[in-house]
Amino acid sequence: MKYEAVKNYYNGQFFESAATESLDVVSPIDGNLLSRVPMSPVGELNAAVASAKTAFEGWSRTPIKERVQVFFKYRYLLEKNFDELTALVSEENGKTWDEAKAEVEKSIELTEFACSMPQLVSGEILEVSKGVECRTEHFPLGVVASIVPFNFPLMVPNWTMPNALVLGNAMIMKPSELVPLSCLRMAELLKEAGLPDGVFNIVNGGKEIVAGICEHPDINAVSFVGSTRVAKIVYRAATANLKRCVALGGAKNHLFVLPDANPTMTATNVTASMSGCAGQRCMAASAMLAVGDVDPIIDGICAEARKVVPGVNLGAVISKAAKERIEGYITEAEKAGAKVLVDGRGAVVAGKEKGTYVGPTVIDHVTPDMSVAREEIFGPVISIMRTKTIDEAVRIENANPYGNAASVFTQSGGLARYIMEHASAGMVGVNIGVPVPREPFSFGGWNDSRFGANDITGKSSIEFWTKLKKTTTKWNPEAGINWMS
Ligand code: NAD
């Protein structure tokens, strides 16, 4: 075992869990055992929440200009430990070095946004009647929770933690049991940056801890990122317990490819979108709507896909179970009559035979009823559906229950605008394979890709992590009294 067993973290200290059950943490790159993660009992969540509740008292009363100083230092520490964090993300998640590096870079960018919060939450003031002022202020919620998935062990925790904490909350983080190591390092860096003990806490575990979070009377808000199946469980449980909740779910992102699209740019962008992070991105291209004759572009995508080589410029998928699930989808589509143009099944990387790899896969002549057309595969697979018209393609996209992202490849501004308006997705791209909105814009899908009123990052997150106080003031007794005052 390369690292010591994963501990919980609260009150500024690491604690060995009293859990009777633990799971192996295995590197998808080569199948090596990295650590073991405890399935903590709910009592440990209670201890963490108690420590957060105490810390909240002082932290929430610290002026935001001072709170933000911790995050300037945290940002510096992310940079200082850049290579080590990159290696850790790659090791526990299976990403390539460049992908893991991008995850650390994005974590830095997210922290920079959090550092700009004092400029964004200064509140408003208006004289609403003669001598009478109304003023608004953002107040933190208290103890909040963040439940995160396996596919971005560092970036997704940094979607929530810096904003929530800068805004004055104390947090319980529940990492994915598949990749718990990056979060632990985050806790160490926050402590080094000067964050007061108890403001950030980690409780490792599975669904019992998640249920405990949704039920805990001292947790006021729950953010969740993961699959739609679990997002629904969490959203229902948290809101049934009268908590504020935003729950981001899975995705089935459609790319519309029109015959006038730039062939080279389209082929490279589509391939990068479907194969980047081994297809394990909620923004990954998963279905392609080929409108009219786009055969030369499909040939280009196949040529690009063949340049993506497992273990070289393609990382591993998270587990053996994930590899089997992804390959099962491809086999099922083939049996149902689809044509596998580039086949990533059975990928093995020499010297890393226990690693879990799936090569890039391009499946053509998929029909909308096939499971590869409807369901999230979460692997480096693109399912191509042929349509005669744009409206037929729009109908297919609109019928899918997800709604995270959609993109169109065309050189026509009018057609791009038409698809941008008609796609049923929260994040839309024009000639961009992965249309992630960068801060200050916010991240969040529609339909079954997000439950709750807010997006999770950017300006929208301010509304999620704070409550507004409205104060009406009159100091001048000489001001006249009318029905408004
Ligand atoms: P997951 O839903 O299996 O797990 C997410 C979290 O929920 C983990 O911390 C896990 O421990 C916990 N969990 C799992 N089963 C649970 C249950 N039955 N009850 C309560 N908690 C449970 O997701 P994952 O496999 O870790 O991540 C991949 C999924 O996340 C994909 O569907 C992907 O699209 C989605 N995702 C979405 C976004 C987004 O922004 N919409 C971003 C990243 C990932």
- How confident is the model over 279-337, as pLDDT tens digits? 999 999 999 999 999 999 999 999 999 999 999 999 999 999 999 999 999 999 999 99
Burial class (CB in 10 A: 0-12, 13-18, 19+), 416: buried
How far, in Å, CA of 320 to CA of 312, rounded? 19
How far, in Å, CA of 78 to CA of 246, rounded? 27
Q: Using the mean position of ligand 1's atoms as its centre, give its distance from the Cα of residue 123 in Å.
A: 35
Residue closest via CA to ligand 1's atom 17 equals 207
Q: Using the mean position of ligand 1's atoms as its centre, give its distance from the Cα of residue 34 in Å.
A: 21
Q: Using the mean position of ligand 1's atoms as its centre, give its distance from the Cα of residue 149 in Å.
A: 4
Percent of the chain with pLDDT over 90: 96
Residue closest via CA to ligand 1's atom 22 equals 207
Instruction: Tell me the pTM.
Output: 0.97
CB within 6 Å of ligand 1 — which residues? 147-151, 156, 174, 176-177, 206-207, 210, 225-227, 230, 233, 248-251, 282, 376, 378, 404, 445, 449
Q: What is the DSSP string of 84-153?
A: HHHHHHHHHH---HHHHHHHHHHHHHHHHHHHTHHHH---EEEEEETTEEEEEEEEE-SEEEEE--SS-T
Q: Using the mean position of ligand 1's atoms as its centre, give its distance from the Cα of residue 150 in Å.
A: 7
> 130 and 479 in contact (C-beta within 8 Å)?
yes
Active site residues: 282
Q: Quick one: angle between helices 228-240 and 207-215, nearest 10?
A: 30
Across 338-350, average pLDDT: 98
Q: Give the confidence band of 361 by pLDDT, cuts at 50, 70, 90.
A: very high
What's the first-to-final CA gap in the chain, in angstroms? 70
**Helices in 224-262 by DSSP H: which ranges?**
228-240
Percent of the chain with pLDDT over 70: 98
| Every domain of the chain and the residues it spans | 8-250+445-470, 253-430
Across 249-277, average pLDDT: 98
Residue closest via CA to ligand 1's atom 20 equals 207
Residue closest via CA to ligand 1's atom 9 equals 176
Instruction: Report pLDDT for 484.
Output: 60
Interacting residues of 105 by C-beta distance below 8 A, sequence separation 6+: none
CATH architecture of the domain with residue range 8-250+445-470: 3-Layer(aba) Sandwich (3.40)
Closest by CA position to 362, among listed 333, 319, 324, 328: 333
Q: What is the pLDDT of residues 372-416, one digit of tens each?
A: 999 999 999 999 999 999 999 999 999 999 999 999 999 999 999
Q: Which of 213, 227, 377, 464 to mutate to test the pocket of ligand 1 (most atoms within 8 A of CB)?
A: 227
3-state helix, strand, coil in the chain (%, to 5): 40, 20, 40
How far, in Å, CA of 131 to CA of 52, rounded? 41
CATH 3.40.309.10 for the 253-430 domain, yes or no: yes
Q: Using the mean position of ligand 1's atoms as its centre, give its distance from the Cα of residue 389 in Å.
A: 35
Residue 476, pLDDT > 80, answer: no
How far, in Å, CA of 467 to CA of 485, rounded? 25
